[in-house]
Amino acid sequence: MGIWFKKMPADYYNQLSFFEEDVMLWQNDMVYVMDNHRDAAWCWLQQCEDGESYNFMHIDRHYDMGDYYYDEDLEPVRNNPRMDYLEYANLIRKDGGCKTLRWDNYIRFTHDLRPNWFKTNVFLTQKDGDICVGWHENTMRLIELDALALYGYMHQYLLELSDHLEGVSPEDINWKWIVNIDLDMFFYHYDDNIHLKLYSDGYIREVAKLLQKAMDKIQVLTIAISPDCLIGDGMKEKWYNGFRVLRIMAEEIVALQGFLFPENID
């Protein structure tokens, strides 16, 4: 069950998952799993309609709000929003300096393409990075909430949304959500000395249960493993820790239950 747009190789832990590289991309129904969030915009373009409006929830250690691209770089996607995954993944920035889409600029890129997809924008992060860094003015209106109260805020905005909540307009309460989760949110990393798992397995399970309960309010759910940003001694252990979290979520989220985990993940 599910579709591999980029199949996870047997030696996935030796592959480069970095700011403009991908290791894997999998989909079942409206749920997508990838190694880092560089491909998230492509997934949203497959699941969301051009003229519709949506709310946006970003759960991530980082803001992912860079915008290192030129206005001209929007045109290929604007002209062909349902382009093939490989075409999207290999788009090159106008100056030829790197690929157009990176793991830190895809949100602003999509906002420039489809501002109507970002009505109420909830950010639950560890405030790592900058709200906006790059070449454009930040025009997104953000609601920044305390990540320590992750479950409570997810419950309020996904299941109890009303215009009494911060930053919500009356017309926004009927829109479905684009939910963007990076598993590095569940970990803390400081320099090379402090590496912690911030949330218990039980807490992560309750977050997954909440997402399953809210599925009828979610248009698309994109999940990044982000092994580079997890705890572990070497990339293999970092991937392992990410897959452990994903497996907990898969036990509660129906659309994830067809994901084929590596055999050594318990």
CATH numbers and ranges of domains, the chain: 3-256 (3.40.800)
Q: Give Cβ neighbours of residue 233 (< 8 Å, ≥ 6 apart).
A: none
Per-residue pLDDT of the chain (266 residues; tens, 9 = 90+): 799 999 999 999 999 899 999 999 999 999 999 999 999 999 999 999 999 999 999 999 999 999 999 999 999 999 999 999 999 999 999 999 899 999 999 999 999 999 999 999 999 999 999 888 888 888 899 999 999 999 999 999 999 999 999 889 999 999 999 999 999 999 987 776 667 899 999 999 999 999 999 999 999 999 999 999 999 989 999 999 999 999 999 999 999 999 999 976 65
Q: What is the pLDDT of residue 136?
A: 86
Strands 31-34 and 25-28: antiparallel
pTM for this model (two decimals): 0.96
Partnered with residue 139 across adjacent β-strands are none
Q: What is the pLDDT of residue 264?
A: 63
Number of alpha carbons in the 13 Å side-chain half-sphere of residue 65: 23
What does the alpha-carbon distance between residue 190 and residue 188 come to, in Å, rounded to a whole number?
7
Q: What is the pLDDT of residue 265?
A: 62
Say if CB 28 and CB 3 are below 8 A apart: yes
Q: What is the pLDDT of residue 88?
A: 98
Q: What is the pLDDT of residue 196?
A: 86
Q: What is the pLDDT of residue 68?
A: 92
